[in-house]
Amino acid sequence: MLKNIFQKIGLMDKDPIQIHGYQTYGTDKHLYTMGRALEHEGVNLEKAGFYNAFKNAYKQFKSDELPGVKLKIKLPDDRIFYSETDAEGYFKIDISTEGLQHSTNDQGWLSLELSYEGNNQDRLIMNNNRFPAQMLVPSKTAEYGVISDIDDTILQTGVVSLMKWRVILNTLFRDVGKRTPLHGAAELYKKFYLGKSGKAANPIFYVSNSPWNIYHYLESFIKHNNFPKGAILLRDFRTPFDKTPKPEKPHKQHEIRNILKTYPDLKFVLIGDSGEHDADIYIEIAEEYPEQILAIYLRSVNHEKRVFRVRGLLEKFELTPALLVKESAVAEEHARELGLIQ
pLDDT in tens, 70-99: 999 999 999 999 999 999 999 999 999 999
Looking at mean pLDDT, say which of 147-156, 256-265, 301-310 comes out highest: 256-265
Q: Look at residues 109, 99, 178 and name the one whose alpha carbon lies nearest to residue 139.
A: 109
What gap in Å lies between CA 237 and CA 144, rounded to an integer?
Answer: 31
Q: Chain-wide mean pLDDT for the chain?
A: 85
Higher pLDDT pick, 157 / 257:
257
What gap in Å lies between CA 108 and CA 104, rounded to an integer?
Answer: 5
Looking at mean pLDDT, say which of 118-127, 243-252, 324-333 comes out highest: 324-333
Q: Calculate the CA dihedral of residues 276, 281, 283, 288 and round it to 10 degrees.
A: 180
Entry pTM: 0.86
Q: Calculate the CA dihedral of residues 123, 212, 205, 294 and round it to 10 degrees.
A: -160
Q: What is the pLDDT of residue 27?
A: 98
Q: Do 72 and 117 touch, CB atoms closer than 8 A?
A: yes
Q: What is the pLDDT of residue 14?
A: 72
Which range, of 31-35, 189-193, 224-228, 298-302, averages the lowest pLDDT? 298-302
Residue burial 151-161, b: 16+ Cβ < 10 Å; e: rest: bbbbbbbbbbb
Q: Do 301 and 152 touch, CB atoms closer than 8 A?
A: yes
Q: Please count the other Cβ atoms lying within 10 Å of the Cβ belonging to residue 23.
A: 22
Q: Look at residues 263, 48, 272, 297 and name the one whose alpha carbon lies nearest to residue 174.
A: 48
Q: 185 — phi, psi (to 5°)?
A: -65, -45
Q: Calculate the CA dihedral of residues 261, 262, 264, 269 and round it to 10 degrees.
A: -90
Higher pLDDT pick, 267 / 182:
267
Segment 46-70, tens digit of pLDDT: 555 554 655 545 455 556 889 999 9
How distant is the alpha carbon of residue 5 from its chain centre? 34
Q: Do 231 and 208 touch, CB atoms closer than 8 A?
A: no
What's the DSSP call for residue 155? B
Q: What is the pLDDT of residue 122?
A: 72
What gap in Å lies between CA 278 and CA 152, rounded to an integer?
Answer: 11
